[in-house]
Amino acid sequence: MDQTILIAGAGHAGGSAAAMLRQLGWRGPITLIGQEPVPPYQRPPLSKAWLTGEESADSVALRPFAFYAASQIDLRLGTRVTGIDRVARTAALSDGEVLAYDILILALGARPRRLAVPGAELAGVLELRSIADADRLKASIRPRARIAIVGGGYLGLEVAASARALDAHVAIIEREDRVLARVASPLLSDFFQSRHRARGVRIETGVETAAIEGCGGHASGVRLGDGRLIACDSVLAAIGAVPDDEIARAAGLSCENGIIVDLAARTDDPAIFAIGDCTRRPVPLYARMVRLESVPNALEQARQAAGLICGKPPPAPEVPWFWSDQYDLRLQIAGLPSDATEVAVRGDIAAGSFALFHLTADGTVQAVEAVNAAAEFMGGRRIILRRKQLARARIENVSVSMHELAA
Amino acid sequence: MPTITYIEFDGKRHPIEVPAGKSVMQGAVDNNVPGIDADCGGECACATCHVYIDAAWLDRIGLPPAGSQEATMLSFAAVTRPDSRLSCQIKVSDALDGLIVRMPEGQH
C-alpha cells in the first residue's frame, strides 16, 4: 500500500477513483493529472443547469478544492500524459515532466467528434465537453438567438431543451431517420421528437449536414445535403465522441475503439488500469464488450479498479444505466437492448409517464426505457439483473405493481 | 455550523460540520465519507445515497411523501427500512445540528 499510483485524466472517472482509493484506505502517493484548469467536476449539468445559470464551478465540483490537499492527492491541472514507458514505468507529461508509477490508471475520457464539413472551422461552431465549452455555448444561447444543433443524440436534445427554456430558436439536424437512432428504441425516439417539436424545436431528420456557411468568418447557417439552408447565429456539433485512447495504443495496449479492459478494469499490462469513456469493457449480462459513455459506467469501473488495488472483493456487476433530463421529462434507461425482439409498453406514452420493456424471444427483459417512471426503472434494473422472464401482457397490465413484477 | 454524524455500516463514526443549505449527501461526499456513493450527484436518479435516520430524528426529518420520486426510488433500493431516506433530498439547516444517519451495508 505504499506504491505510487498515477491517474491520467481528472474527469468523473479519474477524480472518483482517487477519492475511492482514499476511502478504501490506500496510503501510498496518488497523483491525479488533469488537462483542464479546474478540479474534477460533473459533466451532466453542463448541457442543462449550467446553461440556464443554475450551477457554478463550485456546485458541479466532485469534491471541494481543499479536499485534494487534505487527502494527500497531488492534483496537477493544466497538463496531460503524452506518453507511457511501460518498461520503465514512467509517464511523460505535456509540460515536460516525467513521473514514475507503480500503478497507472488511464481515465483519459473521450473528445467530441469533429464535424468534417466545409466551414466547420468558422467562429460560432461549438462543441460541448468541458466547462470552457459550456461557457461559450451559454454565451450564444440568448432569447431569440438561433442555434442549429447538428446531431440528435442525448447531448443535442438536452441542449435543445435548455435553449428553449432560455427562449432561443433551436433547429436539430440529424442524418438518421430519427433522433436518438443509435441509443434509443424507435418508440422512444418518436416520443422525444414529438415533445421537442411541441416545444417549438425544428427537427430535420434523414438529412446530411453538407457545410457550415459563414459571414465575416462567423457561422451563419447550416447547408443541408438537399440544398436547403438553416440560418443560425451559432452551431453546436453534437455528433458523438471518440475515445482518447491514443497514448494507450502508442504504448502497445490492446485497443479497439477504446482501451480493452476486463471486469476489474485491468488492461493487458498488469500495472495499468483503464476506466470510463476511454474503455471497452465486458458486460457479463449481455456477454459482449461495449464502450459506455456514462457517469454510472465511469463510477462502476472506478470502483472495480480501486477495489482490486486495495485488495477488496470485486463489486457485484451492475446493470448498465443512464439518465437524461429534458424539459419536465426524466428519462432513465436500464440495460442494453442488444437482442430484444419485442417491446412491452407499460403506462401511457401520450401522458408522458411510461416505460418500454425490451424482451428477447424467450421473454427475458433486456432493457427498460422509463420516462417519468421511477418504479419501472428501479424495478426494471432488478428484473434485468435477475434475467427474469416476463410475459408482455403482464408487464403491460398496470394493475400488477412493479414490486410484484420485480419480486 | 450544523454537525451531522455519519455512521458507517461497521460502526465507524464521522462527525462532520456541514454548511446549512447543502444536502446531507453533499456533506458526506465533500468529506469523502465512505458508504454514500451518490452516483447521480444529487438528482434523485440512482438511490445510492441511502441512509437510515436515527430514531431520535425521524420525526423532525420526516419521511418522503408517498408517491414522490424519492419514495418510489427508495422502495426498490437494497435493504430499505421504514427509517430510510435518500440523503440528497435532505437539506441541512441549523435545526438539524446533531443529526445522526447510518449507512446501509452497500449502495449497489
| Rg of chain B in Å (alpha carbons) | 12
A9 and A96 fall within a common domain: yes
A288 and A376 fall within a common domain: no
3-state secondary structure of A317: coil
A178 and A235 fall within a common domain: yes
- Interacting residues of A197 by C-beta distance below 8 A, sequence separation 6+: A203
Q: How many CA atoms lie within 13 A of A27 on its CB side?
A: 2
Q: How many CA atoms lie within 13 A of A299 on its CB side?
A: 20
β pairing state of B13-17 and B50-53: unpaired
- Interacting residues of B78 by C-beta distance below 8 A, sequence separation 6+: B50, B104, B105, B106, B107, B108
Question: What's the confidence (pLDDT) of residue A339?
Answer: 85
Domain boundary (A239, A254, A269) is at: A239
A13 and A85 fall within a common domain: yes
**pLDDT tens digits, A358-399:** 999 999 999 999 999 999 999 999 999 999 999 999 999 999
Mean pLDDT of A158-162: 98
* CATH match of B3-102 with 3.10.20.30: yes
| Max Cα–Cα distance, chain B, nearest Å | 34
Question: Chain A 46-65, CB below 8 Å of chain B: which residues?
Answer: 62-64
Read off the pLDDT band of B108 (50, 70, 90). Answer: confident
A171 and A253 fall within a common domain: no
Joined grid coordinates for residue B65: 411523501
Contacts of B34 in chain A (CB under 8 A): 23-24
Give me the sign of the Cα torsion angle A314, B89, B31, A60: positive
Joined grid coordinates for residue A239: 455528433
Say if the Cβ atoms of B32 and A23 lie within 8 Å: yes
Cα distance between residue A230 and residue A6, in whole Å? 47
Contacts of A62 in chain B (CB under 8 A): 29
Q: Is pLDDT of A261 > 80?
A: yes
Contact assessment for residue B54 and residue B102, using Cβ atoms and an 8 Å cutoff: yes
**Choosing among B16, B18, B39, B44, which should be mutated to test the A contact, i.e. which has the most A CBs within 10 A?**
B39
Beta bridge partner(s), residue A92: A83, A98
Say if the Cβ atoms of B41 and A402 lie within 8 Å: no
A383 falls within a domain: yes
Mean pLDDT of A104-127: 98
Does this model's pTM top 0.90? My answer is: yes
**pLDDT tens digits, B67-97:** 899 999 999 987 899 999 999 999 999 999 9
A101 and A247 fall within a common domain: yes
Cα distance between residue A93 and residue A299, in whole Å? 25
- Residue A118 carries which DSSP code? T
A204 falls within a domain: yes
A53 falls within a domain: yes
A299 and A199 fall within a common domain: no
A227 and A156 fall within a common domain: yes
- Interacting residues of A182 by C-beta distance below 8 A, sequence separation 6+: A153, A176
Q: Which of B86, B82, B83 is nearest to B107 (CA)?
A: B86
Of A295, A325, A375, the CB nearest to B76: A375
AA letter at B54: D
Task: Write down the mean pLDDT value for chain A.
Answer: 97
Mean pLDDT of A240-269: 98
A281 and A225 fall within a common domain: no
Q: Cα–Cα distances in Å, from A161 out to A86, A124, A202? A: 46, 20, 12
- CATH code (residue A45): 3.50.50.60
- Please give the residue range of the domain that contains residue A131: 125-239
A139 and A73 fall within a common domain: no
Domain boundary (A196, A217, A239) is at: A239
Mean pLDDT of A2-25: 97
Mean pLDDT of A216-230: 98
3-state secondary structure of A232: coil
A132 and A228 fall within a common domain: yes
Compute the count of residue pairs across chains A and B with CB atoms less than 8 Å apart.
Answer: 57
Q: Into how many domains does chain A fold?
A: 3
Read off the pLDDT band of A85 (50, 70, 90). Answer: very high
Q: Is pLDDT of A1 > 70?
A: no
Q: Measure in Å the smallest separation between the Cα of A64 and chain B Cα atoms.
A: 6
Phi and psi torsions of B87, nearest 5°: -70, -15
Mean pLDDT of A48-58: 94
Contacts of A325 in chain B (CB under 8 A): 43
A178 and A221 fall within a common domain: yes
**pLDDT tens digits, A303-356:** 999 999 999 999 988 999 999 999 999 999 999 988 899 999 999 999 999 999
Q: Which of A139, A204, A208, A132 is nearest to A170 (CA)?
A: A204
Joined grid coordinates for residue A330: 426524466
| Stretch (H or E) spanning A98 | strand A98-100
ipTM: 0.94
Q: Is pLDDT of A6 > 80?
A: yes
Cα distance between residue A112 and residue A119, in whole Å? 17
Mean pLDDT of A154-179: 98
Give the residue extent of every domain in chain B: 3-102
**pLDDT tens digits, B10-46:** 999 999 999 999 999 999 999 999 999 999 999 899 9
Of B30, B37, B77, the CB nearest to A64: B30
